[in-house]
Amino acid sequence: MSETEAVEVPVAPKTDWREVASNVLDLAAALLLGFSTVCMGYSAFQAGAWEGETLKMFNESQTAIAASNDESMQAVQGAMMDTTLVVKIVELSTPNAEELLSAYMALMSDEGRELLGLPAGTAAPVTAAPAGSPDPAAKYEAKIFEKALAKRKEGERLFEEANAADENGDAYEMVGIVLTTATFFAGLAPIMRRIFMKVGLLGVGGFIWFIGMVWMLFLPSPP
């Protein structure tokens, strides 16, 4: 080799920035697919938990309403008994029937005694209600149906809570659908050859995933 002969210097290969960008976008799509899949699993778990809570509350509501019906039936039976005894008391309210009268009064419920103005647990003579006092019949009816009404209110409250739980479960299912859509767009991005198509699909998928995440963050978890 002569002294004047030029020595060839190897030329470094040029960086293919399009290839680098494509690889970065493919990595971002893979990460989005992973995050979206995890969020979909969490959303499905929450939807299932709310479904179980809904069934539980519906069952408790039906139990409370059934108990209310039982209490109402017992109240009606007690009222019929008290009515019969009131009639007997009126028939036997004579000086020569004091013992039988006391026996009938002793059989009356506390509500029946209160209606007649009798102290609870005694067979004291009937006293007239003072002027301006509440209607004894209405007071008696409210008293004997008090437990039944409380049970019915409890059943209605549980029914409303069950409906709310069902709505929460439906909301988590809708979030799952939104995240599935985001996963679809993120999954399409890596198979596209053109950069702008990768960016577009990845951007749409990321935006939809962000909406689903924000929505899910504001949803309550089961108790």
User: 174-196, pLDDT tens digit by residue?
Assistant: 999 999 999 998 888 888 888 88
Q: Greater confidence, 202 or 92? A: 202
Tell me the mean pLDDT in the region 5-11: 56
- pLDDT at position 163: 92
Distance CA 196, CA 53 (A): 46
Distance CA 162, CA 62 (A): 11
- pLDDT at position 102: 66
Is the predicted pLDDT of residue 210 greater than 90, yes or no? Answer: yes
- pLDDT at position 115: 66
- pLDDT at position 104: 64
- pLDDT at position 136: 63
Q: Greater confidence, 121 or 17? A: 17
- Token pair 């399409």 in the structure block, residue: 188
Q: What is the mean pLDDT of the chain?
A: 79
- pLDDT at position 177: 93
pLDDT tens for 110-135 read: 766 666 666 655 544 444 445 455 56
Structure tokens at 4: 């004047």
Cα angle vertex 47, ends 41, 52, to 5°? 130
> Is residue 143 within 8 Å of residue 78, measured between CB atoms?
no
pTM of the model: 0.67
Residue 140's closest CA among 70, 81, 65, 67?
Answer: 81
pLDDT band at 172 (very low <50, low <70, confident <90, very high): very high
